[in-house]
């Protein structure tokens, strides 16, 4: 027998919203059946039209608001509804902090079955705008000219824009200059349907502290019309430019960067600081897009590690060494492991750049490298993990449980996988003591968190 739902497609119903989804839609429940509605906020009452009904949940469209949330505001961005890059501009920043703290609490309880862990209020930004130090802008054409912006939600249609309110203003300015220079000098935009044309993306990286700028032109082929003129004009007009790079991506793919990189002008890296630590950033480097909040996040991780200078620390997803180098300032020895070889090369370069010699980096899977270290007598007092959104590999979690470091610091960018992994660590003998959410991405639903776990005695 097919199930009869309490709501049907094309129904108009009155609802009250009780929550937000992970992508910022309002959640209403009709006899327990969740209905997701974009643009709605918790506490609001509205008339909605049901537009899709699935087995476990449905989708609706906001028709009329009867009662508005006290945290509702007018989104300042003129293309907010079309763009999809942000989800929460219609929610005040105080409201965003409440929603993100609730998101962390809810998944810890629902997925992790963790009832007694102390979740602190979210550490937010004083100015929650203009924070991103990296822009990646897809390029298209309209009426014979180059346009650049963001893909419209759930499409590959490019929305042209002059400003993004979560990008540093310098990035917007540089993108406009490069787009204008390339368009005037005969550069055609890449067409993904015909696989013709050249310019796919303009990427800009900007050092928040150093104010150094890198521009990357991502093209289908290495041929660039009027190459010398384009290079000279970009160099002349962009203040602070230190690196101009051509990246060739000839594949039919949604992946932005290709395998071939040429330095058109200047250096292969720019530099920036997080706190006192200097980082070399190449066109391919992973580097946090909000360095101001990264410092907040890492300071909390250091606080939870509670180092006195005698400890051996393992950083199990070390990337380019960002957390490792902060830890090395306080620990006796730090070991970092990362599966991406280029990231380890960056990590070694960053350690040398800062004169930090009590770190050792290795390429490989953490769950394979760490046992090898253990066999050689490396016993971690503190183990730090900062995994990708999918969370820790289960084999790594079992390695941690077997090694029994007295303290684990878990840095997470996904509360759901964090909760899942904490449950495994709790069952393996650890106690999650406290959780500090940190807002790395204002105006979006993303929230990071740092957790302190201690070995139960």
* Per-residue pLDDT tens digits of the chain, which is 457 residues long: 345 557 899 999 999 999 999 889 999 999 999 999 999 999 999 999 999 999 999 999 999 999 999 999 999 999 898 887 899 999 999 999 999 999 999 999 999 999 889 999 999 999 999 999 999 999 999 887 899 988 777 777 888 888 999 999 999 999 999 999 999 999 999 998 899 999 999 999 999 999 999 999 999 999 999 999 999 999 999 999 999 999 999 999 989 999 999 999 999 999 999 999 999 999 988 899 999 999 999 999 999 999 999 999 999 999 999 999 999 999 999 999 999 999 999 999 999 999 999 999 999 999 999 999 988 999 999 999 999 999 999 999 999 999 999 999 999 999 999 999 999 999 999 999 999 999 999 999 999 999 999 999 7
What is d(CA 183, CA 198) in angstroms, rounded to the nearest whole number?
A: 11
Pairing of strands 45-53, 58-67: antiparallel
Residue 90 token pair: 């219609």
Architecture of the structural domain at 134-271? Beta Barrel (2.40)
Give the single-character DSSP code of 42: T
Q: Which fold has domain 98-126+289-455?
A: Rossmann fold (3.40.50)
Give me Rg for the CA atoms of the chain.
24
Give SS3 for 419. Answer: helix
Dihedrals phi, psi of 409, to nearest 5 degrees: -115, 120
Domain ranges in the chain with CATH number 3.40.50.150: 98-126+289-455
Angle at the Cα of 412 from the Cα atoms of 94 and 446, rounded to 5 degrees: 40
How many helices and strands, by DSSP H and E, does the chain display? 10, 22
What is d(CA 274, CA 280) in angstroms, rounded to the nearest whole number?
A: 11
pTM for the predicted model, two decimal places: 0.93
Q: What positions carry a catalytic annotation?
A: 413
Residue 397 token pair: 């979690």
Burial (Cβ within 10 Å: 0-12, 13-18, ≥19) of residue 5: middle
Domain ranges in the chain with CATH number 2.40.50.140: 12-69
Domain ranges in the chain with CATH number 2.40.50.1070: 134-271
Architecture of the structural domain at 12-69? Beta Barrel (2.40)
């Amino acid at each position: 027998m097919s199930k009869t739902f309490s709501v049907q497609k094309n129904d108009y119903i009155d609802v009250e919203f009780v929550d937000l989804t992970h992508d910022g839609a309002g959640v209403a429940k009709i006899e327990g059946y969740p209905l997701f509605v974009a643009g709605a906020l918790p506490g609001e009452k509205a008339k909605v039209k049901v537009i899709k009904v699935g087995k476990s949940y449905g989708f609706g469209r906001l028709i009329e608001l009867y009662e508005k949330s006290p945290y509702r505001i007018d989104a300042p961005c003129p293309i907010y509804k079309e763009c999809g890059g942000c989800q929460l501009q219609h929610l005040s920043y105080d409201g965003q902090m409440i929603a993100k703290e609730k998101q962390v609490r809810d998944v810890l309880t629902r997925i992790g079955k963790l009832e007694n862990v102390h979740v602190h209020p979210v550490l937010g930004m004083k100015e929650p705008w203009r924070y991103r130090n990296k822009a990646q802008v897809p390029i298209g054409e309209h009426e014979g000219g180059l346009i650049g912006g963001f893909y419209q939600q759930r499409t590959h249609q490019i929305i042209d824009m002059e400003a993004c309110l979560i990008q540093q203003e310098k990035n917007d300015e540089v993108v406009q200059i490069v787009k204008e220079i390339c368009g005037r000098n005969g550069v055609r935009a890449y067409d993904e349907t015909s696989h013709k044309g050249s310019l796919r993306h303009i990427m800009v990286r900007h050092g928040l502290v150093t104010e150094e700028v890198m521009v990357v032109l991502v093209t289908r082929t290495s041929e660039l019309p009027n190459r010398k003129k384009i290079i000279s004009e970009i160099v002349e007009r962009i203040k602070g430019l230190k690196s101009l790079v051509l990246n060739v991506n000839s594949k039919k793919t949604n992946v932005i960067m290709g395998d071939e990189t040429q330095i058109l002008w200047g250096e292969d890296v720019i530099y920036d600081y997080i706190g006192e630590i200097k980082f070399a950033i190449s066109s391919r480097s992973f580097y946090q897009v909000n360095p101001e909040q990264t410092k907040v996040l890492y300071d909390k991780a250091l606080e939870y590690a509670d180092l006195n200078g005698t400890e051996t620390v393992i950083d199990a997803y070390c990337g380019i060494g960002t957390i490792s180098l902060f830890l090395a300032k306080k620990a006796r020895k730090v070991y970092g492991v990362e599966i991406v070889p280029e990231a380890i090369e960056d990590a070694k370069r960053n350690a040398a750049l800062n004169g930090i010699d009590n770190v050792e980096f290795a390429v490989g899977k953490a769950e394979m490298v760490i046992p090898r270290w253990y066999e050689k007598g490396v016993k971690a007092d503190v183990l730090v993990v900062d995994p990708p959104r999918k969370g820790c590999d289960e084999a790594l979690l079992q390695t941690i449980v077997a090694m029994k470091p007295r303290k684990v610091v878990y840095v997470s960018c996904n509360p759901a996988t964090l909760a899942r992994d904490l449950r495994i660590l709790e069952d393996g003998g650890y106690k999650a003591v406290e959780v500090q959410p940190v807002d790395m991405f204002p105006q979006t639903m993303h929230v990071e968190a740092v957790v302190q776990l201690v070995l139960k005695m």
